[in-house]
Amino acid sequence: MKARLLRHFKPKDPVVASIVAITDQYSLGDRPDGSAFEALARSIASQQLSGVVARKILERLVALHDGAFPTPAQLIAATPESLRAVGFSFAKIAALKDLAAHVIDGRLPPDEVLRQLDDEAIIERCVAVRGIGRWTVQMLLMFHFGRPDVMPVDDYGVRNGFRLAYGLKGMPRPKALHAYGERWKPYRSAACWYMWRAVDLHQQGLLPRRTGRAPRIEIEPPRPAPPKKAKAKAKRAKPARRKAAKAK
């Protein structure tokens, strides 16, 4: 796979090719274990939580169901009190039960049916579930189904990796990144995976230096710098001085 990706990216995008050349084998592929239902349920459980906390909650959920991940029917049957005791918020309980209901009534079909659908059809089915957005389904497409041409332009890691790899002065706008990524087809999933690796390489001081000019791509304006602490302290001190002067 690595040799194929090098042949694809070298003439189309030398920056990606340079990262491919020094990075581990691209490892995303269709996973035979688990299910889309379980992957989405785990994603809902992990939203807005640290990895450690989410893992603990999921471990308690599995323990509640005799050491196995609950089926949709078991999630529907679980009482809100039992799920609250595991650690889920009321919003997440509602989302998990809605996901289970979609699977049970067929609105979200089993994996063997989903695999026959194109990416957008899968996204349409999944985002109808409470608490699941487009980015979540794009991660499902990449990591569970191993789809080769997914472009999660709203992913912070992908955008930041692109900024670092191409030497931009700011974060690329999602729409501009989507347009640039057209040259990566039909391996946009791989290109985005290598943008994540670019962040790792940058932190290790191993990211290849870009040659030539940075691409002309629209970037987000820099955020205004926060006020300096000294100025903030001075502003807080002024009213105190005025009060002291009035007291005299």
Q: Catalytic pick from 13, 98, 111, 155?
A: 155
CA 212, 214, 217 angle in degrees (round to 5)?
A: 150
Token output for 147: 């789809």
Dist CA 108 CA 102 (whole Å):
5
Q: What is the distance of C-alpha 146 from the center of its chain?
A: 15
Dist CA 164 CA 158 (whole Å):
10
Is position 155 annotated as part of the catalytic site? yes
Q: Coil, strand, or helix at residue 194?
A: helix
Q: Is the dihedral of CA 193, 198, 199, 205 positive or negative?
A: positive
Dist CA 202 CA 207 (whole Å):
5
In the chain, the amino acid numbered 220 is E
Among 185, 152, 142, which Cα is nearest to 162's? 152
Dist CA 192 CA 215 (whole Å):
17
* 43 and 132 Cβ atoms separated by less than 8 Å: yes
Active site residues per annotation: 155
